[in-house]
Structures are given as structure tokens and as C-alpha cells.
Amino acid sequence: MSPQSAVTEEPFRKLALAVGFLAVAVSAFLAHGAPATGYELSIYTMTPGRVWAGLLVAMAIALAIAFIPPSWVGGGKRTGTGSASQTDARLFTSRPLALVLGGLTMVVFAALPLIRGYRFFGNHDALTHLGWARALAEGTIVPFDLYYPGIHTMTAMLNAAVGIPLEQSLLLAILATMIVFWVFIPLCVGVIVSDRRAVVIAAFSSFLLLPITTISMYMTAHAMSQAVLFSALLFFLFAKYLRADRSLATVSAVGGAFALVSVATVVYHPQLIAHLIVVFLGISLVQFLARRIASQGRIASQTPMYGQALFLVVLFLGWTSNHGFFSGMIDYFLSAAIDFVFGDGGGAGDTVAMQGASLGALGSGLGEIFLKLFTVHLLFTLLAAGLILAALGARNSEWLARVRPETLYFAVALVGLGPLFGIYFLAPGSTMYFRVFGLMMVFVTLLGALAIYGLSGSSRLSGGWRESRFVPAGQPLLAVGFALLLLLSLVAVFPSPYTYNPSPHVSDQQMSGYETAFDMQDDEVEIVGLRNGPNRFDDAIHGNEERMRLHFDVPESAFGSGLVDEYDDDRYLVVSQYDYDREVYAYGELRHSDGDFNALENEPGVNRIHTNGEFDRYYIDASMGDA
């Protein structure tokens, strides 16, 4: 097929793209037209099927257009007459639009809580972050009162500038960090290999959202999660900095941007900067050794990171000195080590065992949950490991020589983060090792995208996609492969019963119920609830500078029977639809059964004094326990 005949396919591709953009728009419109009327246990099942169908169509079109260019003889060999550059320009104008379509599809997917009118999306830490954003907006605290005021400051600014409620402003701030990740991961890979096909692969790799695990890394307000996603911008500037002209002006421009983004990153979360110090000190060591061992190599010719690594150290020490964060981390690591050595703490091993036992009681197991959560992570980790081994062992591959410096840098980053992962893993009762894991997945995403690019045959300097009788030009198998990976990954990024978790949806009824409960509370009567719920909602509503820890949980053995015998003084008991659906459906009545909730209505001395359909407040008359 001649270039001219290939160009004739462009109108059909443009029509397909138009259909894709229309599908995204219609999906967003349908989702907005089906707002949540109450608590939803799963955003996947409660979002109308037509919305998912539209998003699937849009992503399928984006994948097809991105990975299957118009066919022509030799997978890019030009025949016939005409300008080759004009032909290339026509053939590849649709590919950037395909990336935009894929990105918009992901934006609509991630923004579904906003589009469907959720009051808020996030529990536990997210509610505390909402309260801090509220305190910033009301002026009761200032940003420097917080360890990591990044998302809270952005939320308050959006609230003031746009005038939307704080809850929606915070969800927009979260979405912004995801967009940063989706934009700068492919741009970082594009800097490393300077090939648009690598950018395409990296873009769809970023859509997998590998740093999000729903275990200590979330799609809700969680400072470390947003900081890790935001770090994609820092790694893009890192790649640019390595290749910057060594003249003072250029180095100052890129280096200045790097330093500025470093400041923004520490504002998002100083713990991430502590981890990045390990990464960049390791990279600096590699560069130092390369200048002495292989002074004519590619690494030696790149701009050294010494100054930027030193700046990160100074920045971290300067920021944390005002908050005691550094000393707190040292105390945490030392106590974790002592507990491990003397056997006082169970560490992650006992936590995993307990979770395994709980999953076993639900008829599941660690193997099933691992496959649901980490299949794609495992595949990309294997790809990254393969690329690292190939880059270290190959000596005659021009493409591997081009990517060897960054491959080695990212490998050093993974090795350096390993001990931190281990320390957190050994800490009793901690799941913070998944924070390190989330950061490691940023490097795995970059390395995995580079590995797929190399395996696809796009690395040939002559250009064009490798072609054989089994793998036709354009690598349509990549489109199919990414389609499967996206389904496997994205079905687990929102908590749902699929992963034995409830959705962290906060409904209007739940929020207003807690607001009423706090407003009408007798100061002498304490509030109790299930799984620390009252404390977090107290934070969200009142904007407490310090996390509220005055409300308590109902003992598991007393809930449903014996509440009046449990307390010497009167109590308020608050129970929401979220509590019921979480315990009965998501957790399969592991702790509390449907009968326990129903028993509240008939237990002597426990009287319901307020309800709005999804939130009930009971008064526990402790004096009835003596009757």
C-alpha cells in the first residue's frame, strides 16, 4: 500500500476519534444525570452501565488509533512519490489526539465521584484532611501549622477562587495530581528515548495508576498518595536536567525549575522528600563513580546531580526542623527496630497473617486478593527487572546504550528504597511500607514502559514498527494487551466489595447526620461509634488542628446486646448506612451481623433519638443496666 492510500485511511481514523470524544462526553453527561441519592457501596456497580460502556468505547478507540497506524508496505517503508515528511505528518496527526482521548477518558473515570455529585469521597485520613482544608479556608490555622499543607492549601485556593464547596475543591485537588502523573510520566520517557511511540506506550502505562494500591495509597485525600503522583513532574525535570546544556543559562533554568518543584514536593509531604534523598544520593554516587571509572561513557557526560541532592537535604532539614518531623521519623525507625529485635511488635508479618485469616473467613484468601490488586504490578516489575538486566549485560545494543543511564539510575532508586520498605515492613502495626511501594511503582512504570517500547521493536534507529507474520505492523497486540491491563488495574483502584472493601463515599445524609449529632451533643455525654468514625467526622466538620481522639469505638462484644451494661455513664451511639453496608456486605458480617444492627431497635435502654434515613443516633441510658 502506498503512502497515498494510507493517507486515505485518515478520515476514518478521524471519524473514529470523533466517536470516541462523543462517547466520553456522553458518558460524563449520563454520569452527571445519575447522581448518588444515598450511600453507594461500590462506585462500579452503582454507576450506570451506559457510562461504563461509553468509557470502554472511548478507551478502545484511543488504544486502536494510538497503536495501529495506517498500514503501508514494510511497516513504514515509503513507496511511490510525494514528500515523506508530509506523509509522516498526515499519518501521525491522529496519534496525539488518541492520547488526548485516552487521557480524557481517564479524567472522567477518576472524576466520577465529582461528576456523580458525591458529597465527599474518602474516609479516615481523607476526612481529617478535609477538616484541615476547612480550617485553612476559615483562617483558624495557617499552612505552616501543618506538616504537609499542599493539598489543603490548593483546596482552600480553589474554594476561594471558584466558589465550589470545600469537599468538591479537595476532590479537584486530588484529580489535579493524577493529571500531573498522566502528563509527565510519558513526557519523562519521551525525554529519555526521544520517540513519540515511547510516549504513547508510557502514556497508557501511566493510565494503569500502579502507585495506587488501596493499601496506604489511595484515590482519596491522602497527602503521601498525592505527593507520589506529583513526583512525576520532578522525575521529568530530572530527565531534562541530565541532558541540559552544560552552559550556565540552561542549567540554571532547568535546575531552577527542579528546585522549585522540589519545594512543592516537600509541601505535599516531607516523608516523600526523605525517600527521594535516598534516591538522588544514590544517583549522585553512581555519577561520581562513573566519572572515575568510565570518564568517556554516557553517564559521565550527563549533568551531575550533586547540587540538587544537596538542596533536597537542606530543604528537608529546613522544613522538618519546625515540626519535629525528622526526630519523629528517627524515633519511629528506632522503636520499630527495637520492637523487632526484642519481639515486642508483630510487624507486617502478623498483620498479613491476620488479614489472611479474615479473608479466609470470607471464603477468600491472600492469593486471590494479591491477584486482584497486584497482577499488573507484578507484570511491570518483571518487565522492569528484565530491562535492568539487559541494560547491565548488553554491550552491543545501541538502543540499550541510549537508555542505560536512566535504567541504572532507576534501578539504584529501587535498590535504595528497598531497605526503607523493609524497615516499614518490620514496624509493628504499620502499612506504611506500601507508601514506599507506591513510590517504587513510579520507577517501575517508567522502566516497564521503556521495556515494552524496546520489546515492541520501536527502538530501531531506522524507525517504524517491527513486522513479522505473527506481529503485524503497528503492534495491534499492544492495544489488546493494554486493554486487558487497564481492565485488571482500574477495576481495583476504587475500594469496593470486589477487593473486600467498602467505598469511602460520604453521602449528604451521613455528613449532615454527624453535623446534627455534634451540634446537639450534651457536653457531658460522650459519642461512641464503629471503627473510629466519630473522630474522623469531628475532624472534617470542626477543622481540628490536632486529630480528634476523644470519641471511642463500641466494643465488638457489646454491639447488638449489652450496650447498657458496657457503660457506667450515658452515651450517644451513632450508626450510619456506611457502617451497616461495610460490616454486612463488604466484610461479610465478620465482626457485626445484620442481626446486631437490628437488635439495637429492641435493646432496653437504647433509644433512637434522631434519624435521617441513613444516619441513626441512639441514646444509651446506662442506668438501665442496673435494672
Q: What tens digit of pLDDT does each residue of 497-538 get? A: 999 999 999 999 999 999 999 999 998 999 999 988 899 999
pLDDT at 171 exceeding the cut of 80:
yes
pLDDT at 463 exceeding the cut of 50:
no
Residue 33 half-sphere exposure, CB side, CA atoms within 13 Å?
A: 10
pLDDT at 458 exceeding the cut of 50:
no
Q: Which range has the worst mean pLDDT, 8-12, 275-279, 296-300, 555-559?
A: 8-12
pLDDT at 494 exceeding the cut of 60:
yes
* β-pair type (606-611, 615-620): antiparallel
Query: What is the extent of the structural domain holding 537?
Result: 507-626
| Cell digits of residue 426 | 518490620
Q: Which range has the worst mean pLDDT, 220-229, 348-357, 612-621?
A: 348-357
**How confident is the model over 202-224, as a mean pLDDT?**
95
| Cell digits of residue 191 | 525525554
pLDDT at 358 exceeding the cut of 70:
no
pLDDT band at 438 (very low <50, low <70, confident <90, very high): very high
What total number of domains does the chain contain?
Answer: 2
The dihedral built from the CA positions of residue 345, 350, 352 and 354, taken in this order, carries a sign that is negative
pLDDT band at 460 (very low <50, low <70, confident <90, very high): very low
Question: DSSP code of 586?
Answer: I
pLDDT band at 298 (very low <50, low <70, confident <90, very high): confident
pLDDT band at 4 (very low <50, low <70, confident <90, very high): low
* Residues facing 528 on adjacent strands: 552, 573
Percent of the chain with pLDDT over 90: 62
CB atoms within 10 A of CB 435: 27
Return the pLDDT at 421.
84
Question: Which of the listed residues 95, 118, 141 is the one where a domain comes to its end?
Answer: 118
pLDDT at 91 exceeding the cut of 60:
no
* Residues facing 578 on adjacent strands: none
Return the pLDDT at 181.
98
Return the pLDDT at 361.
60
Q: Using H for helix, E for strand and C for coil, what is the string for 238-280?
A: HHHHHCCCCCHHHHHHHHHHHHHHHHHHHHHCHHHHHHHHHHH
Residue 76, by phi and psi: left (phi above 0), alpha (psi -120 to 50) or beta? Answer: left
| Cell digits of residue 134 | 476547612
Q: Tell me the per-residue pLDDT of 399-422, one tens digit each, with 9 for 90 and over.
A: 888 899 999 999 999 999 998 888
Return the pLDDT at 159.
94
The cell 528537608 sits on which residue? 316
How wide is the angle at C-alpha 327 spanned by C-alphas 322 and 332, nearest 5°? 135
pLDDT at 330 exceeding the cut of 70:
no
Question: Which of the listed residues 59, 90, 118 is the one where a domain comes to its end?
Answer: 118
**How confident is the model over 120-128, as a mean pLDDT?**
95
Collapsed DSSP state (helix, strand, coil) of residue 608: strand
434 Cβ partners below 8 Å, 6+ apart? 213, 215, 216, 217
Return the pLDDT at 195.
87
**How confident is the model over 548-569, as a mean pLDDT?**
88
Tell the burial category of 15 from Cβ atoms under 10 Å away from its Cβ (0-12, 13-18, 19+): exposed
Q: Tell me the per-residue pLDDT of 37-88, one tens digit each, with 9 for 90 and over.
A: 999 999 999 999 999 999 999 999 999 999 986 654 334 444 444 444 444 4
pLDDT band at 373 (very low <50, low <70, confident <90, very high): very high
| Contact between residue 206 and residue 252 where contact means Cβ atoms under 8 Å apart | no
Return the pLDDT at 470.
35
pLDDT band at 248 (very low <50, low <70, confident <90, very high): low
pLDDT at 138 exceeding the cut of 90:
yes
Residue 340 within any structural domain of the chain = no
Return the pLDDT at 622.
87
Alpha-carbon distance of 164 to 615, in angstroms, equals 25
Q: What is Dmax (Cα atoms) for the chain?
A: 100
- Helix then strand then coil, in percent of the chain rounded to 5, is 65, 5, 30
**Size of the chain in residues:** 627
Return the pLDDT at 194.
87
* β-pair type (120-121, 505-506): antiparallel
Return the pLDDT at 175.
98
Question: Which of the listed residues 118, 134, 158 is the one where a domain comes to its end?
Answer: 118
Residue 609 within any structural domain of the chain = yes
pLDDT at 362 exceeding the cut of 70:
no
Q: Which range has the worst mean pLDDT, 108-112, 342-346, 584-588, 600-604?
A: 342-346
How wide is the angle at C-alpha 8 spanned by C-alphas 7 and 13, nearest 5°? 85
Residue 136 within any structural domain of the chain = no
Return the pLDDT at 326.
57
| Cell digits of residue 47 | 454507576
Residue 612 within any structural domain of the chain = yes
Residue 83 within any structural domain of the chain = yes
* β-pair type (526-529, 571-576): parallel
Collapsed DSSP state (helix, strand, coil) of residue 429: coil
pLDDT band at 472 (very low <50, low <70, confident <90, very high): very low
**How confident is the model over 275-291, as a mean pLDDT?**
94
**How confident is the model over 576-590, as a mean pLDDT?**
92
Percent of the chain with pLDDT over 70: 82
Return the pLDDT at 354.
61
Alpha-carbon distance of 164 to 170, in angstroms, equals 10
80 Cβ partners below 8 Å, 6+ apart? 2, 3, 4
Residue 336 within any structural domain of the chain = no
| Contact between residue 530 and residue 554 where contact means Cβ atoms under 8 Å apart | yes
Return the pLDDT at 315.
93
CA distances from 442 to 142, 273, 403, 431, 607 (A): 31, 15, 17, 18, 52
The more confident residue out of 457 and 466 is: 457
pLDDT band at 424 (very low <50, low <70, confident <90, very high): confident
How far does the chain reach from its first CA to its final CA, in angstroms? 92
Alpha-carbon distance of 95 to 480, in angstroms, equals 17
Nearest Cα to 401, choosing from 244, 296, 535?
296
Instruction: Provide the Cα torsion 461, 467, 471, 475; round to 10°.
Output: 50
pLDDT at 476 exceeding the cut of 90:
no
Q: Mean pLDDT, the chain, as a whole number?
A: 86
DSSP 74-87: GGT---SSS-HHHH
**How confident is the model over 170-174, as a mean pLDDT?**
97
Return the pLDDT at 466.
44
Collapsed DSSP state (helix, strand, coil) of residue 119: coil
Alpha-carbon distance of 319 to 603, in angstroms, equals 53
Residue 4 within any structural domain of the chain = yes
Q: Tell me the per-residue pLDDT of 19-33, one tens digit each, with 9 for 90 and over.
A: 999 999 999 999 999
The more confident residue out of 63 and 297 is: 63
Alpha-carbon distance of 36 to 328, in angstroms, equals 41
* Residues facing 574 on adjacent strands: 617
**How confident is the model over 241-255, as a mean pLDDT?**
73
User: Is the whole model's pTM more than 0.85, yes or no?
Assistant: yes
Collapsed DSSP state (helix, strand, coil) of residue 606: strand
Residue 619 within any structural domain of the chain = yes
**How confident is the model over 454-468, as a mean pLDDT?**
53
